[in-house]
Structure 1
Amino acid sequence: MLSYQHLYHAGNPADVHKHAILAWMLRRASEKPKPLSYIETHAGRALYDLSAAEALKTGEAAAGVGRMLADFAPDHPFREAVEAARTEAGATAYPGSPWIAAHCLRPEDQIHLAELHPREHAALRQSMRGKAKVHLSDGFDLAQSLTPPDPRRGLLLIDPSYEIKTDYDTIPRFIRQVHRAWNVGIIALWYPILKDGRHRDMIRTIEAADLPKTVKSEVTFPPVREGHGMVGSGMIVINAPFGLDDEAAALSRMFARL
């Protein structure tokens, strides 16, 4: 449970997909003047150095942000976040979802980040520098304890590593529980698309729950290295903001060109 370190995978095609959707949703949500809450269950370290040995060992970022960033319009919030991170931290920086949230949101918004890995948690606190409430906590427990949050408008990102195989079985129930407590919240789940298709039952169960305004975005891409089992990325969003269907379709066209 505590072995996963995202630095090996930061900036890969799945990150591009996930972070582009997240940045778009946060930009859209922050257009309204009322404050909002952002909660993330598995935050990681927030800011990654793609020149680090761990990132270079896999080379996954070259197939993701290195290849795809220029495909985004200059004013797309994902591209803006990456460029802002590089202005602040250097040309090889890559922002994780907590950094993107802090970049897209406003001082009056609340950000709660859960990270259980001690080293990742320490790096997360350093990266956020008071921009968020950082919790050394199980992310599922934190989300349940905070919902409904104050402010009540907002977004929950569920982004586990899926090292715990039972996540595929427990996440649909967790989403239903959170939605019952926080029926106006945007709930976004990221999941890997693997060659064995293990995500399919989980997504069918979520779709069968008849949750409101559900949008699913799935993209596929070539394996980033020989023997790599991930061949795509998925996001399913409950209470999806208006226009997310169009954004998801644009991302699908972009990934189809890979």
Structure 2
Amino acid sequence: MLSYQHAYHAGNLADVHKHALLAQALDYLTQKNKPLTYLETHAGRGLYDLTSAEAQKTGEAAQGISFVSQWFGKDHPYTRALHAIREKRGPNAYPGSPLIAQTLLRESDRLHLAELHPQEHAALEFTMSAAGNAKVYQQDGFALAQSLCPPDPRRGLILIDPSWELKEDYARMPRFVDTLAKKWNVGIVMIWYPILTEPQHKPMIAAIRQSQSEALIHEVTFPPARKGHRMVGSGMVVLNPPWGLADHAQALTKRFKSL
């Protein structure tokens, strides 16, 4: 969806949920001394300024990472990534998932990042320009994933995080996930989705549960960011979840229930 720009929502509670689990999964993968591949289908610009006009307009970061950063200890990989990025980019920087991944991964690992929006793609290229192990594509992320999977190295993870402004995304996701799982049966597949006041995600999740019965499906709820805001929660589907990720997800459940 070429109208969507994540700058208005960077660092919100859904980002906290998504990025905390992503960081844990990447941390697990890097414990083994073997290279891996990271793919992302809808990468965004990779870096956001929480003092920008967009962030200030919605106030979502103030209710998100700025409010709940104490949830994560200094040794948590999410915290480590945030601190490393802010040391380089300033205290108001917030990383998108591509920059979190690049920060936690090693030079021997490979990153493939798709972003179709022209402005977001240009910003992503600039953000990742110093990363010699990252390749940025201006193309449809679903098509890129189909063309690259199974990737080389074969170990790794893909994050699928569309805007969900197109209803077709909900309908296509179960089939896409099944195809991806067949082509890359050892890959960790992570899908983020919003939980809205109209539960559009439920048929999609039911279909994924039916075909991928061993997937980890984790959902959290939280108060709307402002009156009339439709997003009231965040969900993650994880195929081939790494050991211990379900426990980390349960710990997050308790945190979100405290809001």
Q: TM-score range by the shorter chain?
A: over 0.9
Deviations 1:186-225 (A, max 9, x none): 00000000011110110110010035x4111110000011
SS of alignment partner, residue 83 of structure 2: helix
2:160 matched to which residue of 1? 158
2:67 is equivalent to residue 70 of structure 1: no
2:210 matched to which residue of 1? 208
Counterparts of 2:127 and 2:42 in 1: how far apart (Å)?
Answer: 15
- Equivalence map 1:1-150=2 (5 Å): 1-131=1-131, 132-150=134-152
Deviations 1:22-71 (A, max 9, x none): 00000001101111000000000001001010110000000100111111
Which has the higher mean CA deviation after the structures are superposed, 77-86 or 120-129?
77-86
Deviations 1:102-134 (A, max 9, x none): 011000001000000010001001111142100
Structure 1 residue 17: deviation in Å? 0.2
Which residue identity is paired with 1:228?
A: H
Runs of 4+ in 1 over 2 A off after TM superposition: none
Which has the higher mean CA deviation after the structures are superposed, 80-89 or 33-42?
80-89
1:221 matched to which residue of 2? 222
SS of alignment partner, residue 4 of structure 1: coil
2:241 is equivalent to residue 235 of structure 1: no
Counterparts of 1:146 and 1:31 in 2: how far apart (Å)?
Answer: 24
Counterparts of 1:226 and 1:62 in 2: how far apart (Å)?
Answer: 16
2:179 matched to which residue of 1? 177
Counterparts of 1:252 and 1:234 in 2: how far apart (Å)?
Answer: 11
2:198 matched to which residue of 1? 196
Counterparts of 1:216 and 1:174 in 2: how far apart (Å)?
Answer: 17
CA RMSD of aligned residues (A): 0.8
SS of alignment partner, residue 203 of structure 1: helix
1:253 matched to which residue of 2? 254
SS of alignment partner, residue 62 of structure 2: helix
Counterparts of 1:177 and 1:193 in 2: how far apart (Å)?
Answer: 24
Counterparts of 2:86 and 2:245 in 1: how far apart (Å)?
Answer: 27
Deviations 1:134-182 (A, max 9, x none): 0001000000000000000000100000111110000110010011111
Counterparts of 1:136 and 1:123 in 2: how far apart (Å)?
Answer: 11
Which residue identity is paired with 1:210?
A: Q
Counterparts of 1:130 and 1:201 in 2: how far apart (Å)?
Answer: 41
Aligned residues: 257
Structure 1 residue 91: deviation in Å? 1.0
Structure 2 unaligned residues grouped into runs of 5+: none
Structure 1 unaligned residues grouped into runs of 5+: none
Which residue identity is paired with 1:21?
A: L
SS of alignment partner, residue 122 of structure 1: helix
